[in-house]
Structure 1
C-alpha cells in the first residue's frame, strides 16, 4: 500500500467548500454540552485539539433543531440549535476551530424519533411524554411509547429545521449536515420499517422521501443554495425486507443530488442493527466501504465513507481505488487527535490507533456519561490541569515492574516529564502478558495497536529503558536503582475451589489461546465473560463443539452493549450451547455437573476438555517486599482487575501525579 498518502492529504472540494485534505472528523456524541444544550468550554477544547491535529473538516456532534415538536432528547444532554440564544457559543466554537486551521460543519437533527433515549427538554417533567415518529412503531432498543406526528407538525418541523440551517450559517459553520442516519426521525420517515403512514408522507419511496426533500428545500430557503448541504444516511439498514437496502438508497442518492445536496455521507444500520451503525472490533476494517462504493456508482457528487478506517494505509487504498471520495473517521480521532498530522509526518507507527472497543460510546455515552477513550486518557480532558504536561523540577529514578498497558503508559508520561525510567519485563516483548493472549482470538489483532504505539514512542525517549527477559522477584527486588517503584504485574487466572478442577484435560483459557494445548471434540468453557466468550469463538472456528457455562443471567455482561450483542450473536450462530444462570458443582469422569439456579435442577454436560475462564485476580505478591525498601505505587490490574481502559488510565495519572 502507498506510504505517501497522496489521496488522503490532497485538497478536496464539497460543493463550494474547499478542504485542505480528504480526511473528515465524523460526529460522535460527547455529552459535554450544558444542561440546556449550549456549547461549553470542554466542547471547544475537544474540537480545537483535533483541528490542531490536521482534520480537514470537523463535523460537530448532533445538535437538536426541533425540540418543541420532538420533545425528547435523543441522549442525556444533546447540543441545541433551535433558538438564536445558542448562536454566541456556537460562534465561539467555529471561530476557534477556524483559527486552528480546520473547517467545521453543523450536524443537525429534527429529532430522535422512536429511538430517543434521553429525557424531556423541559427539565423536571413528571408525566410520561412519548417519543414521536412517522407512525407508532416502537424501537426495540428504546422501548418507549411513540406518538404519530400530524401533518401540521411535520410542516412546522420543516420550517423550524430550515431556520436551524440559517443559524448554523450565521454562527460561522462552513457546511450543514442533515442527520438522516441510524433510525432517528428523518431516517424513520425514509424506511418502511418505521413508516406505515398512508398519507403523502408514507407508502411509496417518493412519499417516504418527502419529509427529507422538504427539509432540504427549507435549508436552502434560510441558508441559501450556496451553503453546502451533506446528507448523512444509512445506505443499508441491515433489516432485510423489513427495512431499506442498497438499491433503494441508490435511488435516494439520485433524488438528493437532484435536490442540490453537495455530498452523501454513507453510514449503515439502525438501533436494531446497531453493530453496523457503530461497528465493533469483530467486524472487518473498512466494513462499510462497499456501501459507499455502491452509492458512488449512482451519483456524481462526492461520497464519504467510514467504518473502521483508522489505519491510514487502508484509508488511502479506499480513495486510491476510487471506492469513495472522502474518508470520515469518528472514533479514530478520539484515540488519536493528531491523526492527520502524524500521517503527514509519516509517523503512522507512533499513532494511538483506535481499538474499536466502543468504550467511548457503548460504555460511556449510552450510559449517560461524558465521552472518554480506553486508549487515550486525555480525550474529553483537554486543557485540564490534571492533563497538562509539565516537566518535573526534581527528576526521580523510577522502576516499573511489568511492561503491560499500565506500566507502558506510566513510563511514557514519566519519560516525557523528565524522570528516569527503567521498565522490567519478564517476557521477551512488551505486552507479553494478558494483552498478548487477548490479541489471539479471532478479530482481536487490532489490540496490537497498543504495543505498536508504546514501542514506537518509548524508543524516542532516551531516559526510558526497557529490560526484556528481566523478571523481578523477591531475590533481586532489593537491587533496583529506584527512588520509586510502580508495580504493574497485572493479573493471574482465578481458579475457584471446585471439586475436580485440577483433573486431567482441564486447561486455562491462556493455555488454549497460546496453543500450548490442542483441543477437539466436546469442549466446556467454564465462564462466559469476555475471556470465555472469545476462547469459545476461537474453539468454534477450529470445529470444536462448545458449551459455555455462566453463573450470571447472560454472557459477556461486562462488555459494552454493541460488543456484547455482537459476540453473543457470533457464538449462537456458530452453534455454541450456552448455559446461563448455571453454577458448576463438580468436574468428574468427563462430565461437568452443574446447577441451573433458576430451576434448581442439576444437569450434566459431557466433555473431552474443559477450559477455565473464571476471570482473574490482581497479581501483586511483590508489593510487601518492594514497599519495605521503596515508595511503591500499584497500577493497573495489580491493584484492581479492570480492563485496558483502567490499566492505561491508572498508568497515565500515576505518571502525571508523580
Structure 2
C-alpha cells in the first residue's frame, strides 16, 4: 500500500488542464531521445522508456518533439526525431499511449512545425548527405547565428499549408489516444521564430508588430481546435524570455501573448526560455540557481487564469513543492530529473526522498549526447535508454553467486557494487578514506554550486545500506601487507586517479588544484593556473569567488574544450566577467617563486607571467598498482579512472557494465 507523503501536499495534489484530470502536479517535460526509426516512427525502445516513467508516478508525460509538417520544413531538427504527419505513424503512437495509460499516467505530445533556421539534422530524404542540401526555411531572411546555415522565407501559401498539416498531425495524435497536444513554440524552432524579432523580419501579415508575429500561432491553435474539437486540451510550450534583450522577445510582450493564447482557448502554458543563441538558459547548467526560471512562470501566472508550468533546475521535490506552494506555478515540469530517476514521484509518495537518484545537472544527456546526434543517455542512470533490455530496472541474477571485492568507493566502484549486489553476489567495498567518493569527486564537489555532485555518494550510501549482501569498509586501505586477507572470486580495482605532475623545472613550487579545492592549501593574490581543462577552470572560478585574480595557461587553442556546451558557455562568461587572463597555445617552461615562464607551442618568444601562487592542474593519471596483488588468485577487473582517467559518466557506466560481466 502506497502512503501519500504529507510533506509535499501541493506536489502530490490532483490537478486539471482543461477537462483533463491529473493525479498530481508533476509533468515530465520533453527531451529528445533519438530512439525513433530513421523514418520517424515510434519504437518499442521509446515505449519502454516512457512506460518506466509512467510507472514511476508521473502525472502527465510530454512525449518529445514530433514533427508535424515535414513537407514544408524538409530538414529533420535532429536525425531520427519522431514524425506524426501521416496516418502511417498512428498505430505505433497508439501502442505508446495505450502503454502509458496502462502504467497509470496521462500523456501529451510536443508537436513541432519544424526546426526552421535552427535545424541540426539532415533532409528527411535519406541518402542526400553529401549529394545535395535543402535550404532551411524560416520566417524571414535572418539565419540562426548558432547553426550558421542559409535560410529562405516561407511563402504565405506555404504557411497556410503548414498550418493545415500541423492541424492534421494533432488530429493524428488525438486519434492515437493522446490526452492533449503540446504546441512546440520554444527555443528558436520554426514556430517560435515567427514570435520573435530575432528571426522574424517579415513585412507582411506574419511579421512586424507583436500581433502579426503571433498570427501563425493563433492560426495553428484555431486549426487544431477545428480538427480536434475545442474541448481537446492544447498546451503551448514557449519561451517567455529569450534572454536576448531588446533584440528578442522579452517578458512584457510575452505577457500580452499569454493573454491572447488564453483568449484563443489554450488550456495551459508551459513556460520555458531562450533560443539557441542563449541556450544556457534553455537548458540551465550547474552554475545557475535552482528553479532558475520559475519566476517567468509567475510573471505569466499573474496575467492569466489557465494553469502554467514552471521549469528550470527543479530537480528536488523540496524545490518543486516550494515553487507550487509559493504560487509561482500550477504544475512543475521536470525533464532531466526523470531521465535520472524514473520513479521520481513513486519514491516521494512512499516517503523515500533519500532513495531518489537525483539529477546531478551535468547535461551529459543533452549537451554531450543529443546535441552530438547520439541517443539519449544519462551519467547517473546507465539504464536510461536501455529500458527494453532492463525492464523495471531489473539487471537479472548471475548464473553463479560470487564473492566480489571492490577496491575504491568512487563512482565506478559504487555503481559496480550496486549492480553486482542486485545480481546476487556478496560484495565487500574497501575504501581508504573515511567517506564514499573521497577522491576526485570530493574535490569536484567542493564548490558551493557543485555540491550537487554529492547526490552520487548520498544515493549509494542509502541504497547499499539497504542491501544485506554489501559490506562497506571505510578507512580500510588495501596494501601489499593486507591484500591476502581479501577473500574474493572477483576483484574490481576502482582506485581512481591522482594528479599528474609533469617534469617541469620548479614543479615542486606549484600547489595541486585538488588541495586548493579541498581547502588543504590556501592561495591569495594573483594566481596562475597551469592547465585549462575542467579542473583548472573550476579552480579558477572557485578562486575568483574567494577574491583572487587568475590567469590560465594551456597548450590547447582554448580552455574547457571537452565541457558540454551549456556549462561551457556559463563558465566562459564567468571568466570573462572576472577579467581572467587566458593564455592558450602556450607551454610551461619553468615555475619559479615569482611566477611561470611560458612559450608558444610552435616556438617563439618566451613570456614570464608573474604570480603570487601557481597551481598545477595538468590532469590526472591512473592508480592501479593494486591489480598485481590479486592477479594470481582472483579474476581482476580494472575500471573507471584506474583504467583510464575520464569523466564521471565513463566511471559510472564502466562500473555498471563491469558488474554485469561478473
Mapped contact 2:140–2:199 kept (Cα < 8 A)? yes
Moved more, 245-254 or 585-594: 585-594
Gaps of 5+ in 2: none
How many residues align structurally? Answer: 655
**TM-score in terms of structure 1 length:** 0.98
Deviation at 1:78, TM superposition (A): 0.8
- How many Å separate the matches in 2 of 1:114 and 1:389? 43
Q: 1:305-320 residue pairs with structure 2 within 5 A?
A: 305-320=310-325
SS across alignment from 2:304: coil
Q: 1:580-595 residue pairs with structure 2 within 5 A?
A: 580-595=584-599
Instruction: Give the corresponding residue for 2:470.
Output: 464
- How many Å separate the matches in 1 of 2:336 and 2:602? 40
Deviation at 1:108, TM superposition (A): 0.4
Deviations 1:581-629 (A, max 9, x none): 1111111341311123367332210011111111111110111122133
Q: Of residues 557, 560, 563 in structure 2, which corresponds to 1:559? A: 563
Deviation at 1:77, TM superposition (A): 1.3
Q: Of residues 527, 536, 552 in structure 2, which corresponds to 1:523? A: 527
Mapped contact 1:407–1:488 kept (Cα < 8 A)? yes
Deviation at 1:498, TM superposition (A): 1.0
Q: 1:265-284 residue pairs with structure 2 within 5 A?
A: 265-284=270-289
Q: Of residues 409, 417, 422 in structure 1, which corresponds to 2:423? A: 417
Deviations 1:323-380 (A, max 9, x none): 1000110000000000001010111111110011000001001111000000000000
Instruction: Give the corresponding residue for 1:601.
Output: 605
Q: Of residues 434, 458, 461 in structure 2, which corresponds to 1:428? A: 434
Aligned structure 1 segments of 4 or more residues deviating by more than 4 angstroms: 385-388
Instruction: Give the corresponding residue for 1:229.
Output: 234
Gaps of 5+ in 1: none
**TM-score in terms of structure 2 length:** 0.97
- How many Å separate the matches in 2 of 1:261 and 1:456? 44
Instruction: Give the corresponding residue for 2:174.
Output: 169
Q: 1:605-620 residue pairs with structure 2 within 5 A?
A: 605-620=609-624
Instruction: Give the corresponding residue for 1:242.
Output: 247
- How many Å separate the matches in 1 of 2:191 and 2:396? 47
- How many Å separate the matches in 2 of 1:481 and 1:657? 19
- How many Å separate the matches in 1 of 2:530 and 2:7? 48
1:628 aligns with 2:611: no
SS across alignment from 1:497: coil
Q: Of residues 494, 498, 501 in structure 1, which corresponds to 2:504? A: 498
Deviation at 1:477, TM superposition (A): 1.0
- How many Å separate the matches in 2 of 1:372 and 1:392? 25
Instruction: Give the corresponding residue for 2:511.
Output: 507
Mapped contact 2:54–2:100 kept (Cα < 8 A)? yes
- How many Å separate the matches in 1 of 2:585 and 2:216? 47
- How many Å separate the matches in 1 of 2:285 and 2:265? 34
SS across alignment from 2:72: coil
| Gap change, CA 1:327 and 1:28, over 3 Å in 2 | same
SS across alignment from 1:6: coil
- How many Å separate the matches in 2 of 1:79 and 1:634? 40
1:401 aligns with 2:404: no
- How many Å separate the matches in 2 of 1:630 and 1:251? 69
SS across alignment from 1:231: strand
Mapped contact 1:478–1:629 kept (Cα < 8 A)? no
- How many Å separate the matches in 2 of 1:137 and 1:596? 39
- How many Å separate the matches in 2 of 1:589 and 1:379? 50
Deviations 1:144-172 (A, max 9, x none): 10111111111111111111111111010
1:381 aligns with 2:386: yes
Q: Of residues 82, 86, 106 in structure 1, which corresponds to 2:85? A: 82
Mapped contact 2:67–2:112 kept (Cα < 8 A)? yes
Mapped contact 2:595–2:614 kept (Cα < 8 A)? no
Deviation at 1:385, TM superposition (A): 6.2
- How many Å separate the matches in 2 of 1:651 and 1:148? 50
Deviations 1:217-252 (A, max 9, x none): 010011111110000001110001100111111111
1:548 aligns with 2:548: no
Mapped contact 1:441–1:537 kept (Cα < 8 A)? no
Q: Of residues 145, 160, 164 in structure 2, which corresponds to 1:140? A: 145
- How many Å separate the matches in 2 of 1:278 and 1:555? 21
Instruction: Give the corresponding residue for 1:328.
Output: 333
Q: Of residues 205, 213, 221 in structure 2, which corresponds to 1:208? A: 213
Mapped contact 1:58–1:104 kept (Cα < 8 A)? yes
Deviations 1:406-440 (A, max 9, x none): 11111111112221111111111111111111101
- How many Å separate the matches in 2 of 1:448 and 1:266? 29
SS across alignment from 1:543: coil
